[in-house]
Amino acid sequence: MIEAESESAPFAVRFSNGTESGRADATLDKGGAGEGFRPHELLEAALASCINMSLRMYARRHSLPLVRVVTQVSLDRSGEHEAVFRYALELEGALSDAQRRQLEQVAEACPVRATLARGIAFQLSTREPPNNTHPPP
């Protein structure tokens, strides 16, 4: 689970999984300070990271000569009814064409991509702040 908490800057957010943390913010043109990842960049990062890790895990498990992976992901939200994740792979190592095709198939099956490709639902639950710190209206 990720928890995101407001920071003092107008739209800055510190997020954490309880061990690691990061920062998100709106861009300057949207009133933010531009001092963190934009939320859509975090979606891109999730997919890019998952593809990258999946390829390296697969290569290790199958003793493929993969030395380094660079994954680039961009999210195109210009479509009215569909968002498109575009991605590119840079695979370094003495890989055969067949091994490269294998790795491309692994990229297509990474868990985050599989999750994003499914139907998505949202459920809201609200929580009271600790010690009810907000004064009554």
Q: What is the CATH number of the domain that holds 104?
A: 3.30.300.20
Q: What residues contact residue 10 under an 8 Å CB cut-off, 6+ apart?
A: 26, 31, 32, 33
The domain in which residue 80 lies consists of 39-117
Structural domain total, the chain: 2
pLDDT of the residue at 103: 98
| Residuewise pLDDT in 10s, the chain (137 residues) | 999 999 999 999 999 999 999 999 999 999 999 999 999 999 999 999 999 999 999 999 999 999 999 999 999 999 999 999 999 999 999 999 999 999 999 999 999 999 999 999 999 999 888 776 655 55
Closest CA to 50 of 122, 119, 120, 116: 116
